[in-house]
Amino acid sequence: MKKKVTLIPGDGIGPEVSFAAQRCIDAAGVAIDWEVVNAGADVMEKKGTPLPEEVLESIRKNKVAIKGPVTTPIGSGFRSVNVALRKELDLFACLRPCKLYPGIPSIFKTIDLIIVRENTEDLYAGIEFHEGTPEAKALVQKIKELDPQAKFYPDPAISIKPISKAASERIVRFAFETAIKEKRKKVTAVHKANIMKCSDGLFLRTAREVAKDYEGKILFEDRIVDNMCMQLVQKPMDYDILVLPNLYGDILSDLCAGLIGGLGIAPGGNIGNGVALFEATHGSAPKYKGMNKANPTAMILSGVLMLHYLGEFKAADRLENAVARVLKEGRFVTYDLKPDRNDPTAAGTSQMADAIIRELRAQ
Ligand code: NAD
C-alpha cells in the first residue's frame, strides 16, 4: 500500500527544492501518495494566516511530512511557521546529520557528526515583551522585587529563556538512543552553564544524570558552547553526537553545515512521538527564488532521513548513494558546489535532480 506523506513546498526557493526532492524520492522506488498543502508568506496574503489549520490536520493524519523552507519576517510581522509547527506537533527533537561527502572541497578528510537540537523551549519559546510596553515594565518591576541585585537600563525589551528538566531529559535521552541506533560512540552536551547556572545548569545536570543510564555503552562529555565552536572549526572529526538546547543547536547547525559544504547540503528532521517533519537546515534564500539555482541536496537528503523513518531502508540507501555519486563526480552540481561560484557550467536545481535520478536508474 502507498504511504501517505504531507508535502509542504514552502516559499522562496522552497517549491523548487521540494519538488526536486519529491521527484528523486519517487525515483528511489518507493510508493508515496503525496498530499500537498501550503504554508508560509504567500499563504498569509490569501488566508490571513501563514499556517492554516488544514496543514496541521494533514500532518496529524499522515504522521509524516516533508517541508520546504518558509520565510519568517525579521523583527515584526507573523511569528515563525517553523517554530509554530514544532510546537503544535510537539516535534521535540531536531536531528541534523552533518556528513562530508567525497567531492565536496574541505580541509578535512572526514566529518560525520549528528546534531540533536532541543526544539520546544529556550529563547525560542516565543515569550517576549517589546521595550516600553506595560508588560515589560511590570516584568522588570517584578524581577527587581524578586532579585534586588538585578540591574536594568531603562525600558529593556525582554525575551524569556525557559529550560526544563523534563524537556532536557527527553532530548538527551533521544540523543543517547540515536547513538545506540546509529552505532555511535559518544554524546557531547553543549551548554553555557558557567554563566547561565540556572537554565543551562539544569540542562547540563540533567544530561549528566541521563548519561549514567548509558555508562559502559556510550561515552559522555560536555563542552561550553564557545569552546565547542572553536573545536568544531579545528577538529570536527573528534565529535560524534552533539546534544544542545534550542538556540545553540540552531547556530551550531549552520556552523557544521559550513564544514560539510554549506547550507545546500545539510538535511534535517524534526521528530516527536509518532510524528515527524523533515526539512533542510537552510532557509528560503529569497534572492534565489524562481531562478532554478538553489542546491536541492539538503532537501533530497532530508528525504533520505524520511525514508529511514518510514522503514524504507533500501530506497534510502539507493537515494543517498545516487546523491553521493553526483557530488563525487562534481559535474551536475549547483553553483555553490563549484570551485568557482560563477562557473557557467553549474547545473540548475532541476538539472541536479535529473542527474541524481539518472544515477538511481543506472543502479
Ligand atoms: P538561508 O538559509 O535562506 O540563506 C543563507 C545563505 O545560504 C544565503 O546566502 C543563501 O543563498 C544560501 N543558501 C541557502 N540555501 C541554499 C541552497 N539550497 N542552495 C544554495 N545556497 C543556499 O538563511 P537566511 O537568509 O538567514 O533566511 C532566509 C529566510 O529563511 C528567513 O526568513 C528565515 O527566517 C527563513 N528560514 C527558514 C527556515 C525553515 O523554513 N526551516 C530555516 C532557516 C531560515
> Structural domain boundaries of the chain?
1-93+266-363, 107-122+162-259, 128-161
Neighbours of 362 (CB within 10 A): 8
Look at residue 76 in the predicted model and tell me its pLDDT. 66
- Determine which one of 226, 314, 328, 343 is catalytic: 226
Question: End-to-end CA distance of the chain, in Å?
Answer: 24
Half-sphere exposure of 131 (CA within 13 A, CB side): 7
**33 annotated active-site:** no
Whole-number percent of the chain with pLDDT over 90: 91
| Residues 225-267 pLDDT 10s | 999 999 999 999 999 999 999 999 999 999 999 999 999 999 9
Separation between Cα atoms, residue 151 and residue 284, nearest integer Å: 39
C-alpha 285 – ligand 1 centre gap (Å): 4
* Cα–chain center distance at 122: 16
Does the beta carbon of 298 sit less than 6 angstroms from any atom of ligand 1? yes
pLDDT digits (tens, 9 = 90+) for 121-163: 999 988 999 999 999 999 999 999 999 999 999 999 999 999 9
Q: Please enumerate in sequence order all residues whose Cβ is within 8 A of that of 135, keeping only pairs 6 or more positions apart, or say none.
A: 129
Confirm or reject: Cβ of 70 under 6 Å from ligand 1.
Answer: yes
Q: Is the CB of 282 inside a 6 Å radius of any atom of ligand 1?
A: yes
Q: In the prediction, which pLDDT does 63 show?
A: 98
Stated pTM of the model: 0.94
Q: Which helix (H) or strand (E) holds 313?
A: helix 313-329
Q: Provide the CATH topology of domain 107-122+162-259.
A: Rossmann fold (3.40.50)
Q: Which three cell numbers stand for residue 55?
A: 496543514
Share of the chain above pLDDT 70, in %: 99
Q: What gap in Å lies between CA 88 and CA 309, rounded to an integer?
A: 20
What separation in Å is there between the alpha carbon of 153 and the centre of ligand 1? 34
Rounded distance between C-alpha atoms, residue 13 and residue 9, angstroms: 9
Write down the architecture of domain 1-93+266-363 according to CATH. 3-Layer(aba) Sandwich (3.40)
86 in contact with ligand 1, CB cutoff 6 A: no
CA-to-CA dists, residue 189 to 108, 117, 201, 359, angstroms: 23, 10, 11, 39
- The residue whose C-alpha atom lies closest to atom 25 belonging to ligand 1 is 285
Q: Give the three cell numbers for residue 209.
A: 544524570
Which atom of ligand 1 has the smallest separation from the CA of 254? 2
Q: How far is the CA of 250 from the centre of ligand 1 (A)?
A: 13
C-alpha 74/C-alpha 78 separation (Å) is 9
Q: Is residue 139 within 8 Å of 124, Cβ to Cβ?
A: no
| Predicted confidence (pLDDT) per residue in 169-192, tens digit | 999 999 999 999 999 999 999 999
